[in-house]
Amino acid sequence: MSDTDGDFATWTFSADPGAVRAARSAVRDQLRRWDLDSIGDLAALLVSELVTNALRHAEGPIGVRLVRPSDLAGVLLVEVSDPLPDLPRERDARPDDESGRGLRLLASASRRWGARPGADGKTVWFELSVPR
């Protein structure tokens, strides 16, 4: 399911491994339509990290939402929601760990990020600056 009209785009993906690829593709395509190709790869990478985390830890649908930047803000808002109420925590991954680097990547690559609880789970969000 998707809604891609106006200044926002939303999708809901089932909790299966194909959701990561589908979310990356949807984000890139929407940013291309908004003439924001320059941040498409980074946005898709960060969305795939968050969708992968949701697949690993939550059972249920995964929501992805983009909010197009206004001319004044110059910031793309990206949200990934899942039904698990537990908020994510950054952790120190050892060099041989297979996981644990996603939130560090999110923190270093985004303008800012955060997480908030909701009635049906949580939303992890991040912002990317849009080149002028």
On the question of pLDDT at 107 being above 60, the answer is yes
State the average pLDDT over residues 51-80. 90
State the average pLDDT over residues 19-45. 96
- How many Cα atoms occupy the beta-carbon half-sphere of 59 within 13 Å? 0
State the average pLDDT over residues 55-63. 90
Class of domain 2-129: alpha beta
User: What whole-number distance in Å separates Cα of residue 7 and Cα of residue 59?
Assistant: 29
Of 4, 131, 1, whose CA–CA distance to 67 is shortest?
4
One DSSP character per residue, 52-107 reads HHHHHH--S-EEEEEEPPPTTT-EEEEEEEES--PPP------TT-SS--HHHHHH
On the question of pLDDT at 96 being above 70, the answer is no
